[in-house]
A and B are shown apart, each in its own frame.
Chain A
Amino acid sequence: MSNRFVEMGLRSPVNLTWEVTFACNLRCRHCLSASAEAAVNELTTSEALGLVEQIHQAGVFQINFGGGEPFLRPDFEEILQGCHRRGIMTCISTNGTLLDPPLAKRLAASGLVAIQVSLDGAWQATCEAIRGRGTHAAAIGALELLASSGIPTSINTVLTSLNAREIPDLQALAKTLGVSFRVSRFRPSGRGTDNWQDLRPQPEQLLDFSEWLGHQGDVRTGDSFFSLMPQERQGLGLNLCGAAKLTACVGPTGNFYPCAFLQREEFFAGSIRDQSFQEIWEGAPIYDSLRNLRIRSCEECQRFDQCHGGCPAVAYHLKSEMDGGDPECLERCVSSLAEERTTAAA
């Protein structure tokens, strides 16, 4: 991908993450937004449809819906229809518990929807240790339903210390079910902050995953793992943070942020209730700051051209600085492991 054009500045995001509600019927330990109850004053149907129109006018190609559990929002299908009528592609991240055949049929009819079902372990015990009782069976049921519906579907797994060794089994399960496999990065935001030490993958697990990923061209990672990306996958995805350059995030009340992992007051870009989408995209100081962020401490690294300093959100959450470099990048994992081994040998 050409960074030159990205750095020139795009007139609008390529895609937008929209957390339509914070209401959720699960309490996953790694939830990036600590979802539980709906936020106070979430966007009304009319406001949400108005936002869809603005997103369409701006030329955004795709909206990635998440939450919370999006299907808990009573008007969610209406919002989807508003997108599809305008030709906007959509991807829904769901826990799968609320899907049933009639809903799957209605979703499939648009031809513009893809669905990711969260599954955090190939085995029931692993998944339920992270997501709660009954979640493994519910996700498998939803995946079987979606696989037969014609909707492009994927398993989405957040890589943690608990499921790292099951990643190849999850890939095999996806193949058996006839769906794609996607792995996302665990970041210390939301409830993930409280459970960071328990669930964070260890450097050795990250290195193993990176090596494995290099041989799996069909496994998707979104923009999660560019800081860990092995040479073999170069060119398959991003090699820099896309926040405020290629993507942005809007929360349930219409507040905009650079990305889903930076939904905090200090990263507030503006509210759709006060400004237009285009005004926020073009004028938010925090977006300018992200666009101009340079991770100078990483510039001497041999892998700098491959990750440009990695994920600023992880750097922020772990080190309280945006420009300090990703603490879990491939180079740092290698160094950390070498240090551990030296210490152990001594």
Chain B
Amino acid sequence: MSLETAYILHPACRVREEAFGLLFYDSRGPRLLFAETGRLLTPEFFRGQESLHCRLLGCGAAELDRVGNLLGKLVTKGYLREQPLC
């Protein structure tokens, strides 16, 4: 995981906020993924215009790890695509 990477949703996927965090939907299954992110990430983050570094400024190592693992999982499962910002 690079902190300078942005993440964009796959065109077949959608995301929205729920009380527990984020709910991802993949119409190709269809399948759902429930991400207990609290308020760390918002759906707007997945437009690919902001790096993880910017989004998580001020967060501790544990939170960085947690979010990094989640994003890796979402990329592996095809919900997200990585996009270098520079």
Residues on A facing B (Cβ under 8 Å): 1-2, 5, 8-12, 14-15, 59, 61-62, 87, 89, 111, 114, 246
Taken together as a complex, chains A and B put the C-alpha atoms of A87 and B11 apart, in Å, by: 10
Q: Does B45 contact A (CB under 8 A)?
A: no
Most buried by B among A10, A12, A15: A10
Whether the Cβ atoms of B18 and A5 lie closer than 8 Å is yes
Residues on B facing A (Cβ under 8 Å): 11-12, 14, 16-20, 23, 25, 27, 30-32, 34
Closest CB pairs A-B (n = 3): A59-B16, A61-B25, A5-B34
Can you report 15 A-B residue pairs in the complex whose CB atoms are below 8 A from each other? A1-B31, A1-B32, A2-B34, A5-B18, A5-B34, A8-B20, A9-B19, A11-B16, A11-B17, A12-B16, A14-B23, A59-B16, A59-B17, A111-B11, A246-B32
> In the assembled complex, which residues on chain A have CB atoms less than 8 Å from the CB atom of B17?
11, 59
> In the assembled complex, which residues on chain A have CB atoms less than 8 Å from the CB atom of B23?
5, 10, 14
Q: A1-B34, A61-B25, A89-B27 are in contact. List 15 more A-B contacts (CB 8 A).
A: A5-B18, A5-B20, A5-B23, A8-B19, A9-B19, A10-B18, A11-B17, A11-B19, A12-B16, A14-B25, A62-B25, A62-B30, A87-B14, A89-B14, A246-B32
CB distance from B29 to the nearest CB of A (A): 8
> In the assembled complex, which residues on chain B have CB atoms less than 8 Å from the CB atom of A1?
31-32, 34
Whether the Cβ atoms of A114 and B27 lie closer than 8 Å is yes
Interface of A is mostly: loop
Whether the Cβ atoms of B27 and A61 lie closer than 8 Å is yes
Name the residue on A nearest B21 (C-beta): A5
> In the assembled complex, which residues on chain B have CB atoms less than 8 Å from the CB atom of A2?
34
Name the residue on A nearest B34 (C-beta): A5
With A1-B32, A111-B11 as contacts: A11 and B18 at CB distance below 8 Å? yes
CB distance from A183 to the nearest CB of B (A): 16
Most buried by A among B18, B23, B25, B30: B30
Taken together as a complex, chains A and B put the C-alpha atoms of A16 and B23 apart, in Å, by: 16
Taken together as a complex, chains A and B put the C-alpha atoms of A8 and B23 apart, in Å, by: 13
> In the assembled complex, which residues on chain B have CB atoms less than 8 Å from the CB atom of A10?
18, 23
Most buried by B among A5, A9, A14, A62: A5
Taken together as a complex, chains A and B put the C-alpha atoms of A235 and B12 apart, in Å, by: 20
> In the assembled complex, which residues on chain A have CB atoms less than 8 Å from the CB atom of B14?
61, 87, 89
> In the assembled complex, which residues on chain A have CB atoms less than 8 Å from the CB atom of B30?
15, 62
Taken together as a complex, chains A and B put the C-alpha atoms of A8 and B20 apart, in Å, by: 9
Whether the Cβ atoms of B27 and A14 lie closer than 8 Å is no
CB distance from A232 to the nearest CB of B (A): 17
Taken together as a complex, chains A and B put the C-alpha atoms of A14 and B11 apart, in Å, by: 17
Name the residue on A nearest B11 (C-beta): A111
Name the residue on A nearest B27 (C-beta): A89
Taken together as a complex, chains A and B put the C-alpha atoms of A246 and B34 apart, in Å, by: 13
Taken together as a complex, chains A and B put the C-alpha atoms of A230 and B25 apart, in Å, by: 24
Name the residue on B nearest A60 (C-beta): B16
Name the residue on A nearest B20 (C-beta): A5
Name the residue on B nearest A11 (C-beta): B18
